[in-house]
């Protein structure tokens, strides 16, 4: 079998970060060691908590002639099927201090809102979630099933966030947002602290083995920033960090290019819905700007194909349920390995141990089935 074959795996752009200057202390000024440790101590005590699997894609690593490819499978995260469960629900618990009189609110493209609704449900709190008209009925229903009231807002994600802020101020609801803005940084930081639990689990599994490269999908950069902070806290070495984005929404790439936050225009919504964001969030940006080595952007073209290969166990021994946002890591890796020039720049070779994030499973089942059938 030849999965990686030639030109079939496309990337759009690749850049190196000319401002790269990894500084552990600077990174931990944004999320502290104490915040990271407290998140793990809290979340690891939740009912039904267990680390998600760290799988190996041994068929693919053999074919690409790499030492190892790890895949963190977040489709198994609680019953929410995405890493987002760690962030939103943790922030709900920390901010409300389990006070049942607090009503929480949030705007979402899907998974974050589901995490907040789940976090509210486990503590018996009321929850109000705002979604844009682009959020599928499937995703909206999943949030309602967790007991939240869902409001559909005309326009895009930004419109849903503005509506959420307006209503929350009027009604004294506590906003639990994963995106930071001026004077709203603590809650997004707590959300990211929740995500770092993944890196603790990974460090516990790999023991003394060294991860050399981490591919991190990014929307506003929360996941990526959290994983870099987690790297500083839990790993002994500093791996190469490669940010992966849809080419229609590569706001981190554009910001890394110029060294400052750039707001981009999205003219086409990517299939990778969770990553279709216009600008980096403030807290992760402070981490990302000097600690990302490379950025790569991808078209949507190969997403369905990668999802199918995950599903039928072509990359490793396991059949993996990988949603749209889980596919771009493996696509970037294969595309880089097919381009000798870029492969050299990223320093990927037969000694490399790669870490990929399977951020979600079939969080939108209808979409998942549709893409598998195509
Ligand atoms: C489901 C989902 N939502 C959102 C994101 C993006 O996270 P962030 O906006 O924190 O960068 C990802 C990342 O791949 C994702 O898989």
Eight-state DSSP code of residue 45: T
**Does 245 have pLDDT greater than 70?**
yes
Domain boundary pick from 182, 210, 239: 182
Assign 217 to helix, strand or coil: strand
DSSP string, 129-171: EEEETTS-HHHHHHHHTTT-EEEEESSSHHHHHHHHHHHHHHH
**Does 123 have pLDDT greater than 70?**
yes
pTM for the whole structure? 0.96
Question: Which pLDDT tens digit goes with each residue over 64-104?
Answer: 999 999 999 999 999 899 999 999 999 999 999 999 999 99
**Pocket of ligand 1 contains residue 279 by CB under 6 Å:** no
Residue appearing with tokens 């979340």:
43
157-184 mean pLDDT: 95
Query: Could you tell me what percent of the chain has a pLDDT over 70?
Result: 99
Flag whether 7 is in a domain. Answer: no
Mutation pick for ligand 1 pocket among 218, 310, 322 (CB with most ligand atoms within 8 Å): 218
**Cβ-proximal residues to 188 (8 Å cutoff; 6+ apart), any chain:** 177, 178, 179, 180, 222, 281, 282, 283
Residue appearing with tokens 């969030």:
281
pLDDT attached to residue 157:
86
**Sheet arrangement for strand 174-175:** 149-153, 126-132, 103-108, 174-175
Q: Is residue 250 a contact partner of residue 243, using CB atoms and an 8 Å limit? A: no
Instruction: State the Cα–Cα distance between residues 199 and 54, nearest whole angstrom.
Output: 11
Domain boundary pick from 136, 164, 182: 182
The backbone torsions φ and ψ at residue 53, rounded to the nearest 5 degrees and listed phi first, read -65, 145
List the residue whose alpha carbon is closest to atom 2 of ligand 1: 274
**Pocket of ligand 1 contains residue 239 by CB under 6 Å:** no
pLDDT attached to residue 195:
98
Domain boundary pick from 126, 159, 182: 182
Strand partners, 357: 72
Separation of 111 CA from ligand 1 center, angstroms? 8
Instruction: State the Cα–Cα distance between residues 320 and 359, nearest whole angstrom.
Output: 12
If asked whether residues 305 and 315 sit together in one domain, one would say: yes
List the residue whose alpha carbon is closest to atom 1 of ligand 1: 274
- Its domain, for residue 69, covers 13-82+191-373
Give the number of domains in the chain. Answer: 2
Of ligand 1's listed atoms, the one at least distance from the Cα of 221 is 11
Of ligand 1's listed atoms, the one at least distance from the Cα of 216 is 14
pLDDT attached to residue 6:
60
Separation of 264 CA from ligand 1 center, angstroms? 17
Q: Is residue 357 a contact partner of residue 326, using CB atoms and an 8 Å limit? A: yes
Of ligand 1's listed atoms, the one at least distance from the Cα of 217 is 14
**Pocket of ligand 1 contains residue 220 by CB under 6 Å:** yes
Of ligand 1's listed atoms, the one at least distance from the Cα of 325 is 16
Flag whether 4 is in a domain. Answer: no
**Cβ-proximal residues to 279 (8 Å cutoff; 6+ apart), any chain:** 220, 251, 255, 261, 262, 263, 264
Question: Which pLDDT tens digit goes with each residue over 12-64?
Answer: 999 999 999 999 999 999 999 999 999 999 999 999 999 999 999 999 999 99
Residue appearing with tokens 């409300």:
96
**Pocket of ligand 1 contains residue 359 by CB under 6 Å:** yes
**Pocket of ligand 1 contains residue 108 by CB under 6 Å:** no
Instruction: Give the C-alpha distances (Å, rounded to integers) separating 251 from 106, 158, 258.
Output: 22, 15, 11
Work out the pLDDT band at 329, boundaries 50, 70, 90: very high
Query: Between 369 and 3, whose confidence is greater?
Result: 369
pLDDT attached to residue 208:
87
Instruction: State the Cα–Cα distance between residues 193 and 226, nearest whole angstrom.
Output: 7
Question: Which pLDDT tens digit goes with each residue over 187-244?
Answer: 999 999 999 999 999 999 998 899 999 999 999 999 999 999 999 999 999 999 999 9
List the residue whose alpha carbon is closest to atom 3 of ligand 1: 274
**Pocket of ligand 1 contains residue 223 by CB under 6 Å:** yes
Instruction: State the Cα–Cα distance between residues 367 and 56, nearest whole angstrom.
Output: 26
**Pocket of ligand 1 contains residue 222 by CB under 6 Å:** yes
List the residue whose alpha carbon is closest to atom 14 of ligand 1: 217
Of ligand 1's listed atoms, the one at least distance from the Cα of 244 is 14
pLDDT attached to residue 287:
98
**Does 346 have pLDDT greater than 90?**
yes
CATH of residue 365's domain is 3.40.50.1100
Mean pLDDT for the chain overall? 95
For the ranges 1-5, 77-81, 213-217, 272-276, the maximum mean pLDDT occurs at 213-217
**Does 1 have pLDDT greater than 70?**
no
Flag whether 214 is in a domain. Answer: yes
Strand spans (E) along 275-324: 294-298
If asked whether residues 271 and 163 sit together in one domain, one would say: no
pLDDT attached to residue 63:
95
């Amino acid at each position: 079998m030849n999965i990686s074959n030639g030109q079939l795996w496309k990337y759009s752009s690749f850049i190196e970060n000319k401002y790269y200057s990894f500084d552990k202390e600077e990174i931990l000024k944004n999320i502290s060691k104490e915040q990271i440790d407290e998140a793990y101590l809290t979340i690891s005590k939740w009912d039904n908590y267990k680390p998600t699997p760290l799988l190996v894609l041994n068929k693919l690593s053999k074919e690409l002639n790499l030492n190892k490819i790890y895949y963190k499978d977040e489709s198994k995260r609680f019953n929410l099927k995405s890493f987002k469960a760690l962030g939103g629900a943790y922030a709900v618990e920390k901010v409300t201090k389990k006070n049942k009189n607090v009503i929480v609110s949030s705007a979402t493209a899907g998974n974050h809102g589901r995490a907040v609704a789940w976090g509210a449900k486990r503590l018996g709190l009321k929850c109000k979630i705002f979604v844009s008209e682009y959020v599928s009925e499937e995703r909206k229903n999943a949030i309602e099933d967790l007991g939240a009231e869902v409001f559909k807002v005309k326009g895009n994600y930004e419109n849903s966030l503005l509506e959420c802020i307006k209503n929350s101020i009027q009604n004294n609801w506590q906003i639990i947002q994963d995106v930071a803005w001026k004077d709203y940084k603590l809650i997004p930081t707590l959300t990211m602290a929740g995500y770092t639990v993944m890196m603790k689990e990974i460090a516990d599994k790999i023991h003394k083995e060294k991860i050399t490269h981490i591919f991190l999908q990014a929307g506003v950069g929360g996941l990526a920033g959290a994983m870099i902070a987690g790297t500083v806290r839990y790993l002994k070495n500093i791996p190469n960090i490669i940010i992966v984005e849809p080419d229609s929404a590569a706001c981190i790439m554009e910001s890394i290019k110029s060294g400052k936050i750039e707001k981009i225009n999205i003219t086409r919504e990517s299939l990778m819905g969770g990553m279709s964001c216009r600008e980096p969030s403030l807290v992760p940006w402070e981490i990302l700007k000097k600690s990302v080595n490379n950025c790569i952007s991808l078209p949507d073209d190969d997403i369905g194909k990668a999802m199918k290969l995950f599903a039928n166990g072509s990359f490793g021994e396991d059949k993996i349920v990988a949603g749209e946002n889980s596919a771009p890591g493996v696509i970037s890796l294969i595309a880089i390995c097919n381009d000798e020039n870029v492969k050299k720049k990223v320093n990927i070779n037969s000694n490399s141990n790669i870490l990929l994030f399977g951020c979600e499973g079939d969080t939108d089942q209808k979409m998942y089935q549709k893409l598998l059938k195509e």
